[in-house]
């Protein structure tokens, strides 16, 4: 079902006419009562007419609707969809019209546009539930999900989705509750996309679907992952008349049960990489020292002395602690 605009009339003429008619009805009641007091039987007619209008005259006021900016009201008449009021203003519609919003009582972790509380006293408040649908951009913060990544490693991930209703008829009639529907589809899309990526870059993994291994990962390609999640959610909620404006990853971490083990693994990897860099630098410095000694003819070392010099330099350059120098006052041979 597609949304259609309801051609409603301005509510001001009806409001003014209704107030005037009520004043006239009160006048008829007073006039009829006066005639009856004067024992004039004709006073019963205006009295009855005035009382009947005072009872039934409130009925047209039920058709008066106020629409604020960025609000919509989906109306049905005897079960048939009559249209949607979206333009801000004061309108008069069919008094038999009924506003429909299945998600009126649903409040997710997002903007508080669903329920309004009126404080009666210090201990009592009344909740007023409205049937209007907000057209504002709202943010949905779903709870963190525990999902296995491409390598089967459990990770915790959270996402914030900025969304809005663009087709009120689809939102109301195509799904049972469009807010719960959005939350459920967000969880499903999040799991579908996260399973494609490893937490960190890993070899021989294709995350783009082109058959070529790449370096995509949840931690290193967060923007790309968020964009793919957004597109997946949009594909799932088109039927509900919802537009996904943006999706952002708000939380990403290893699951608590493996967090300490993965931290040790990262630390070990960092230590290995650092040691590798230190060794490469030390080898280059030793090689440069030997070449300079040979070029400048400072000293002629045989293979045994070179090996001893290389060993000493490597210990000095690669050691974790400062080395205490020992001065050789004797001969080298």
Q: Write the pLDDT tens digit of every residue in 282-294.
A: 788 878 877 777 7
Residue 248 in any domain: the answer is yes
Number of domains in the chain: 3
pLDDT of res. 126: 44
3-state secondary structure of 176: coil
Residue 245 in any domain: the answer is yes
pLDDT of res. 123: 47
Measured distance CA(208)–CA(216) in Å, rounded: 8
Residue 310 in any domain: the answer is yes
Per the CB < 8 A criterion, the answer to whether 238 and 217 are in contact is: no
pLDDT of res. 296: 75
Q: Are residues 236 and 281 in the same domain?
A: no
Q: Are residues 270 and 246 in the same domain?
A: no
CA-based angle 10:135:82, to the nearest 5? 50
Residue 128 in any domain: the answer is no
Q: Are residues 74 and 149 in the same domain?
A: no
The alpha-carbon radius of gyration of the chain (Å, integer) is 39
Residue 278 in any domain: the answer is yes
pLDDT in tens, 167-205: 999 999 999 899 999 999 999 999 999 999 988 887 888
Torsion of CA 8, 9, 15, 18, to 10 degrees: -100
Q: Is 67 left (phi over 0), alpha (psi -120 to 50) or beta?
A: beta
Residue 122 in any domain: the answer is no
Q: Are residues 150 and 215 in the same domain?
A: yes
Q: Are residues 244 and 275 in the same domain?
A: no
Measured distance CA(180)–CA(253) in Å, rounded: 26
Q: Are residues 67 and 138 in the same domain?
A: no
Q: What is the average pLDDT score of the chain?
A: 82
Domain that holds residue 174: 134-254
Q: Are residues 144 and 249 in the same domain?
A: yes
Q: Are residues 144 and 190 in the same domain?
A: yes
pLDDT of res. 257: 76
Q: Are residues 229 and 275 in the same domain?
A: no
Query: Containing H/E element for 84?
Result: strand 80-85
Residue 121 in any domain: the answer is no
Residue 230 belongs to domain with CATH number:
3.30.479.30
Which residues of the chain fall below pLDDT 70?
Answer: 39-40, 108-129, 258-262, 264-266, 268, 317, 319-333
Q: State residue 192 phi and psi, 5-degree precision.
A: -60, -40
pLDDT of res. 68: 92
Q: Are residues 45 and 84 in the same domain?
A: yes
Residue 56 in any domain: the answer is yes
Q: Are residues 276 and 250 in the same domain?
A: no
Q: Are residues 223 and 203 in the same domain?
A: yes
């Amino acid at each position: 079902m597609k949304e259609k605009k309801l051609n409603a009339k301005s509510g001001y003429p009806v409001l003014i006419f209704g107030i005037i008619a009520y004043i006239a009805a009160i006048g008829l009641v007073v006039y009829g009562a006066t005639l009856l007091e004067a024992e004039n039987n004709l006073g019963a007619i205006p009295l009855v007419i005035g009382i009947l209008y005072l009872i039934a005259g409130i009925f047209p006021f039920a058709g008066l609707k106020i629409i604020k900016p960025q609000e919509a009201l989906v109306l049905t008449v005897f079960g048939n969809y009559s249209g949607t009021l979206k333009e801000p203003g004061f309108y008069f519609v069919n008094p038999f019209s009924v506003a429909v919003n299945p998600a009126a009582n649903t409040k997710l972790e997002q903007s508080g546009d669903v329920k309004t509380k009126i404080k009666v006293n210090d201990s009592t408040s009344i909740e007023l539930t409205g049937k209007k649908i907000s057209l504002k951009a709202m943010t949905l913060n779903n709870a963190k999900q525990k999902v296995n990544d491409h390598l089967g490693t459990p990770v915790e991930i959270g996402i914030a989705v900025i969304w809005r209703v663009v087709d009120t008829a689809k939102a109301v009639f195509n799904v049972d509750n469009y807010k719960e529907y959005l939350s459920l589809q967000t969880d499903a899309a999040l799991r579908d996309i996260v399973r494609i990526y490893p937490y960190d870059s890993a070899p021989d993994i294709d995350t783009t679907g082109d058959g070529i291994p790449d370096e995509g990962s949840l931690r290193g390609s967060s923007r790309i992952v968020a964009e793919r999640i957004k597109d997946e959610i949009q594909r799932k909620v088109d039927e509900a008349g919802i537009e996904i404006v943006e999706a952002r990853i708000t939380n990403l971490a290893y699951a608590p049960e493996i967090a300490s083990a993965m931290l040790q693994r990262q630390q070990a990897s960092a230590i290995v990489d650092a040691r590798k860099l230190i060794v490469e630098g030390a080898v280059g410095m030793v090689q440069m020292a030997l070449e300079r000694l040979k070029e400048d003819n400072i000293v002629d070392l045989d293979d045994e002395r070179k090996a001893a010099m290389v060993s000493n330099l490597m210990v000095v350059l690669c050691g974790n602690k400062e080395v205490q120098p020992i001065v050789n006052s004797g001969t080298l041979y």
